[in-house]
């Protein structure tokens, strides 16, 4: 092994067996003078770096490293010369530009009055990657918004993150480490069952009532699982926690509202409708016996009361969240809803069929109310410049269109007079009406149905200047999905 000057680069080493041994190792081995002239290197150095022997002979030791690490290497060389030993981690740059993490150990010695350094370089790229992965995991756990706790297989806490301490009201890890995982819950026996379930099945998800350091409680959503090694053997138990107290409160409020709505609907349906039916029956008997316009006005008033009661019931019921949706073909439902409305001379146009996931009954109510609103208040030649759930314009040939709204939902529009921008929020409010004949519930019901599905409703102008109702955030049927396949949540 000769360098570029033809000198034997093994002459500094003896006996010959040492040279052969150094050539067989995978680590880099080299010897250079105090002024940076290489005297010996094994084949691993040229193999790993890609440099030829002639190139290495002309290089300075710092030339093997990335620019940002060269000062680090210079300092390590000086330290080895002064203290006889130095160790450093640095990034080696190959001839092809690849970067490798290496750990170098060097010792200084003197040979024939020449001060030399001998060093060994070990590739630690994989180790650094593992360390980085562990560091990322540690940072992830430390910075996680969820409370995270790790327990040993005996159920004793061995690690928690800051969010865990914050959730339970503790200041330091020392206050919780070593405690049983069952000590942090209102009902320890339930927590013990959870721990057993995790050990048996490998995971558990659910809700538990937690107890803070100050004895106050909060509802926690818990996800627990077993941590295993590469062979699948359990090492520890890991859990994450989220405070869902606010969500539970909202659920209770919604449940209370639902119960109140049910009670209200019952009162409207029975306590009001029953005497109304009695009054209507008595009216018909009176009409058989007596005549006159007074009874006609009474009948009109009673019929209007019946309409108000029916709309009130629908409004109360449609605000409840949709529990289960099914695939509905919009074209079919739109035509069926159209048949349920007195449309007169109006016409319906529905674009090519498409499907959405919705509550079919509520969707029909939505279409019926929109169609009724368009027919009753729309006209290509309006006699008034106002529009809403109150202003009548007739139905002289009005056209109502239903179509798909890109990939977000659907729309219903007409070619009537439209809704002034300043009224577009008001018309969706229950009871808003500018007509003595309207209940003001029609578009409010539409808004409630949309909200119950999680849809976003907006009102704008159609291309003819009529009213256009756009429903976004709708779960449209993917053409590639079969009819019976449920939507992905």
CATH of the domain at 402: 3.30.565.10
| Nearest of 220, 231, 134 to residue 181 by alpha carbon | 220
Alpha helices by DSSP H, listed for 290-388, are: 293-318, 330-339, 360-377
Q: Which CATH number fits the domain that encloses residue 106?
A: 3.30.450.20
* DSSP label of 478: P
- As given in the structure block, the two tokens for residue 30 are 């080299």
Same domain, 468 and 330: yes
* DSSP label of 322: P
User: Of all residues in the chain, what percent are helix, strand and coil, respectively (each to 5)?
Assistant: 40, 25, 30
Phi then psi for residue 318, to 5 deg, are -75, -15
Q: Does some domain include residue 128?
A: no
Predicted pLDDT at 96: 92
Predicted pLDDT at 4: 43
The structural domain count of the chain equals 4
Q: Does some domain include residue 331?
A: yes
Q: Answer for the pair 88, 6: CB distance below 8 angstroms, yes or no.
A: no
Q: How many CB atoms lie within 10 A of CB 107?
A: 14
Q: Are strands 399-405 and 347-350 parallel, antiparallel or unpaired?
A: parallel
Sheet holding 347-350, edge to edge: 347-350, 399-405, 409-414, 467-472, 456-461
The whole-angstrom separation of Cα 222 and Cα 242 is: 7
Predicted pLDDT at 200: 87
Structural domain boundaries enclosing 110: 16-123
Residues 6+ apart with CB under 8 A from 473: 408, 409, 454, 455, 456
Tens-digit pLDDT string for the chain (489 aa)? 444 443 455 555 554 454 565 666 678 888 999 999 998 888 889 899 999 999 999 999 999 999 999 999 999 999 989 998 889 999 999 999 999 889 888 888 888 888 988 888 888 888 777 766 555 455 545 555 688 888 888 889 988 888 899 999 999 989 999 999 999 999 999 989 988 888 888 888 888 999 999 999 999 889 888 888 777 888 888 888 888 888 888 778 777 766 766 666 666 666 666 777 777 787 888 887 877 777 887 877 777 677 667 766 666 665 566 667 899 999 999 999 998 888 888 999 998 788 999 988 889 889 988 998 888 876 544 433 334 443 344 445 789 999 999 889 999 999 888 888 888 888 887 655 555 455 566 788 888 889 888 899 999 999 988 999 999 999 997 554 444 444 444
Predicted pLDDT at 76: 92
Classify residue 62 as left (phi > 0), alpha (psi -120 to 50) or beta. alpha
Same domain, 340 and 308: no
From the CA atom positions of the chain, what is the Rg in Å? 40
Q: How many CB atoms lie within 10 A of CB 173?
A: 16
Q: Does some domain include residue 159?
A: yes
Same domain, 114 and 149: no
Q: Does some domain include residue 344?
A: yes
Q: Does some domain include residue 478?
A: no
Q: Are strands 114-123 and 467-472 parallel, antiparallel or unpaired?
A: unpaired
Q: Does some domain include residue 129?
A: no
Q: Does some domain include residue 271?
A: yes
Predicted pLDDT at 390: 35
3-state secondary structure 125-137: HHHHHHHHHHHHH
Same domain, 228 and 254: no
Predicted pLDDT at 183: 92
Last residue of a domain, one of 89, 123, 157: 123
The structure's pTM equals 0.41
User: Angle, to 10 degrees, between the axis of helix 330-339 and the axis of helix 360-377?
Assistant: 50
Same domain, 287 and 233: no
Same domain, 177 and 314: no
- As given in the structure block, the two tokens for residue 304 are 């209007």
The whole-angstrom separation of Cα 115 and Cα 248 is: 76
Same domain, 401 and 343: yes
The whole-angstrom separation of Cα 338 and Cα 368 is: 7
The whole-angstrom separation of Cα 459 and Cα 456 is: 10
* DSSP label of 185: B
């Amino acid at each position: 092994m000769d360098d570029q000057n033809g000198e034997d680069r093994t002459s500094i080493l003896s006996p010959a067996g040492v040279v052969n041994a150094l050539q067989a190792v995978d680590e880099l081995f080299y010897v250079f003078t105090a002024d940076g002239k290489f005297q010996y290197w094994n084949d691993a150095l040229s193999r790993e770096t890609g440099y030829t022997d002639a190139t290495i002979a002309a290089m300075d030791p710092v030339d093997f490293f990335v620019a940002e690490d060269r000062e680090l290497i210079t300092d390590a060389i000086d330290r080895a010369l002064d203290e006889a030993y130095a160790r450093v981690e640095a990034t080696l740059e190959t001839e092809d530009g690849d970067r490798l993490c290496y750990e170098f150990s060097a010792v200084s010695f003197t040979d024939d009055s020449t001060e030399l350094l001998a060093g060994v370089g070990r590739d630690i790229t994989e180790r650094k990657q593992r360390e980085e992965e562990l560091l990322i995991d540690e940072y992830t756990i430390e910075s996680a918004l969820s409370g995270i706790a790790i327990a040993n297989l005996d159920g004793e806490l061995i690690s928690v993150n800051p969010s865990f301490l914050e959730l339970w009201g503790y200041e330091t890890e020392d206050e919780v480490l070593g405690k049983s995982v069952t000590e942090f819950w209102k009902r320890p026996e339930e927590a013990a069952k959870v721990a057993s379930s995790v050990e048996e099945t490998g995971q558990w998800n659910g809700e538990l009532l937690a107890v803070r350091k100050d004895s106050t409680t909060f509802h926690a959503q818990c996800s627990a699982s077993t941590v295993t090694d590469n062979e699948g053997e359990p090492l520890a138990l890991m859990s994450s926690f989220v405070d869902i107290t606010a969500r539970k409160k909202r659920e209770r409020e919604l449940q209370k509202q639902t119960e109140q709505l049910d009670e209200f609907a019952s009162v409207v349906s029975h306590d009001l409708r029953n005497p109304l039916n009695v009054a209507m029956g008595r009216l018909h008997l009176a009409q058989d016996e007596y005549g006159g316009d007074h009874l006609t006005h009474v009948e009109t008033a009673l019929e209007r009361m019946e309409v108000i009661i029916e709309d009130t019931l629908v409004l109360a019921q449609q605000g409840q969240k949709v529990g289960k949706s099914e695939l509905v073909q919009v074209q079919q439902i739109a035509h069926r809803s159209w048949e349920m409305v007195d449309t007169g001379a109006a016409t319906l146009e529905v674009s090519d069929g498409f499907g959405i996931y919705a509550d079919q009954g509520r969707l029909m109510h939505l279409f019926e109310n929109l169609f009724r609103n368009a027919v009753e208040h729309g006209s290509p030649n309006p006699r008034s410049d106002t529009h809403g759930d109150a202003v009548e314009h007739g139905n002289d040939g009005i056209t109502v269109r239903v179509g798909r709204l890109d990939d977000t939902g659907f729309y219903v529009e007409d070619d009537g007079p439209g809704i002034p921008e300043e009224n577009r929020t008001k018309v969706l409010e229950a009871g808003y009406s500018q007509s003595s004949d309207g209940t003001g519930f029609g578009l409010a019901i539409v808004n409630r149905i949309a909200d119950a599905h999680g849809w976003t409703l907006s009102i704008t102008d159609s291309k003819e200047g009529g009213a256009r109702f756009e429903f976004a955030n709708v779960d449209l049927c993917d053409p590639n999905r079969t009819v019976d396949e449920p939507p992905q949540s």
